[in-house]
Chain A
């Protein structure tokens, strides 16, 4: 089958192309099970080598190729043509500065992630037997969902609150904090909750739910944000997520 791609482009170095514009490409012999990423590669490799995008693993685990496909944030490598139809519109994700074609400036996104202390903290001596710290599988499950995050930015750049205020840390950073706040081995939950209580922390979330369907890893992002809000309100991290709620 033939598929028409309508792609939002920009090239800061070429006169007349500094401002974003649309360009159409037609591909023939497309199979319904082809990935959108493969089709963007076909355009790049067969028609126009200047088409610029990030990609690496091509199966949804590295998080490089987040883009807006037919108006929703998706990883190009996880969308099949049969999911998007014969006319496909592709744009850069929103809310981050566009550098060239589908490539946006990711630095503000990673800066927000780094604000929430996204690392394990436990200053107690390690067990005397030289072995692992102990944790029950039930406690391990409490934060399982948020360990799946690949930092692709699909959630944050689908969030109207982030579009309106790019100082808001955004859903991905909150998921990053959640992963540690509810880890029973970690000791810095309180500091993270303090960071997220700030004006550009978790309260900027208006529970719009765009982030949850945007997540290519099926993380329940809005639920995770809600759990962080509840922990701040209760001033505690225990008892927020009940094991029977864990899927």
Chain B
């Protein structure tokens, strides 16, 4: 058994992991980054449109407006103090990225260029604001590249293509993680004073998703199985504009540049659903509108998709109607320059040229608002009172701070990972300076090795590919954009049957050790099944509609009974787990409470939970 000893072990090499690695190593910690992909393959690189920060380079802006938009976008489930930190730190974090060389597009004043994005406004919802800092439509790619390059410069120690499969808990504290070296199939122990999960989301629970194949929620599932409850798992975002059937993301930046959604009768239908923000209402609102248009028989060819139109003729006609300055009008060259990757995707996969034809889009499973609960320093907390689990950190999509509440705003995923990756890296570096090493227990890899042996040697008849496809279909059908008691129960029943087959009837073809992707995919399916299960089981308990959780049998938001975070825990029995769900964790409403303390009348209280109108 190979044992590697590093003070800080970071699991995952996307934006959050690399940011944490950079800041922890700059603060003097001995850091190792363990990742199942080469760092530059991480899905941060697929983020397109921009990273929100109130720089005010083009429009007057302030972090408090960004805070307000984040809280409102989250349908008031967002923890308000955390949102304030997010918005304030975003400004410094974006400037630091520029100082690291990130090639942002520029304004005529040579400053970082910014564009409009859904739900981002000035002066508490008054009008849309240009806040999303961008590098063409590959902002995430440039963040990932820049951070990886800086890690090379700072000689951060990487273990590439090592997949973490378990975590070592000693007396309630975390003493490291266990990984499989994919190239040899060998188990390795990473003994650390602190372990940091930055392992991404689990969009692969659904059949139509913008997420990479690698996004199987390994880190969240490992934490769940080792006693960490997961927070707000019922909230999973469907991005309104995925390429029809494929789910590949078409950035909200298309609408930020003036693109509009059109139904089968040629109507810009978002004018009815969100009279002010229209196509740039928050994502949950737009995704529901597309489903409702489909239900009313107004999807294109009645196939469940609508058109996203960025043709300059269309855009300029609406700009003229809105009385926009003629300087804002766009031409073919603007579209080519600002959205090159989007054009490439549509030309490659659809044979559609967005400069000449509209793009067929449908909602696509995109982002987990919930995850491993943390405080604002990325320390993992394990109960409603905020008790810290010593030695465990999390940031990025796998974590739940919670800054996204019930629905994340566009660009805030990138903000989240740089802000909390950075804070977490710094706080972890402080922790490892004073923490003692925990002795490893005997045979720490015994249990997980047994689970891998079970899968490798199983002689059943079910292929993991078939079970995964069935899971994805039931999640799409039953725990998607709209939900009812009946659909969710159907989903839970389907998942129970799939779980039984996974634990009693699995088979794999590959018995080798070197790059056994058959084995790893089967194990990942086990992780996905756990995450699908906890999503369905918290969703069925929450009897209201809020943000991305939209129930047809409980259509209204109910702050009196449900203004609280969910926590769900798992008893560690893999084949037949018992789950416990609670709604005891209060939402932090401190900004509203400050307004009350200042004696502001109700109509002047910006952070008071109220009905969302866009």
Contact = CB atoms under 8 A, between A and B. Distances in A.
Interface stretch (B172-180, B251-259, B512-520): B512-520
Contacts of A33: 349-351
A180 interface: yes
Contacts of B501: none
Contact of A99 (B40, B344, B509, B514): B514
Interface residues of A, number: 59
A32 to B, nearest CB: 10
A12 B146 CA distance: 36
A108 B516 CA distance: 22
Nearest to B42: A62
Nearest to A147: B103
Interface string A27-65: 000000101000001001110111011011111111110
Contacts of B345: 59-60
B150 interface: yes
Interface stretch (A84-92, A134-142, A159-167, A206-214): A134-142
Interface string A95-137: 0000110010010001000100011111000100011111111
Interface stretch (B134-142, B371-379, B548-556): B134-142
Given A62-B43, A180-B101, A13 B512 contact: yes
B14 to A, nearest CB: 11
Given A50-B509, A118-B152, A151-B40, A62 B138 contact: no
A13 B344 CA distance: 40
B170 interface: no
A1 B514 CA distance: 34
A56 B100 CA distance: 27
Contacts of A183: 101, 103
A90 to B, nearest CB: 16
A61 B513 CA distance: 29
A235 B592 CA distance: 61
A57 B211 CA distance: 7
Nearest to B158: A110
A13 B592 CA distance: 63
Nearest to B106: A137
B71 interface: no
Given A62-B46, A132-B98, A180-B101, A56 B41 contact: yes
A185 B466 CA distance: 52
Interface string A186-224: 100000000000000000000000000000001000000
B159 to A, nearest CB: 13
A217 B408 CA distance: 30
A49 B103 contact: no
B313 interface: no
B2 interface: no
Interface in A12-29: 12-14
Contact of A12 (B46, B464, B514): B514
Contact of B153 (A11, A13, A59, A119): A119
Interface in B23-80: 37-38, 40-43, 45-46, 55
Contacts of A55: 213
A5 interface: no
A78 interface: yes
B248 interface: yes
A58 B213 contact: yes
B577 interface: no
Contact of B103 (A46, A78, A100, A140): A140
Nearest to B38: A106
A151 B146 CA distance: 13
A100 to B, nearest CB: 5
Contact of B40 (A133, A143, A150): A150
Contacts of A126: 99
Interface stretch (B107-115, B270-278, B420-428, B429-437): B107-115
B417 to A, nearest CB: 17
B152 A119 contact: yes
Contacts of A144: 103, 136
B509 to A, nearest CB: 3
A185 B101 contact: yes
A6 interface: no
A148 interface: yes
For A56, A64, A130, A186, which residue has the most chain B Cβ atoms within 10 angstroms? A56
A80 interface: yes
A63 B99 contact: no
Contacts of B351: 33
B264 interface: no
Question: Ordered nearest first, which 9 A-B pairs have the shortest CB separation?
Answer: A120-B101, A45-B465, A49-B509, A50-B510, A49-B518, A134-B110, A119-B149, A119-B153, A132-B98
Interface of A: 11-14, 33, 35, 41, 44-46, 48-50, 52-53, 55-64, 78, 80, 99-100, 103, 106, 110, 114, 118-122, 126, 130-137, 140, 143-144, 147-148, 150-151, 180, 183, 185-186, 218
26 contacts: A12-B514, A41-B465, A46-B463, A46-B465, A50-B509, A52-B517, A56-B43, A57-B45, A57-B46, A62-B42, A103-B515, A106-B38, A119-B149, A120-B149, A120-B150, A130-B95, A131-B111, A133-B98, A133-B99, A135-B110, A137-B113, A140-B104, A144-B136, A147-B103, A150-B40, A151-B38
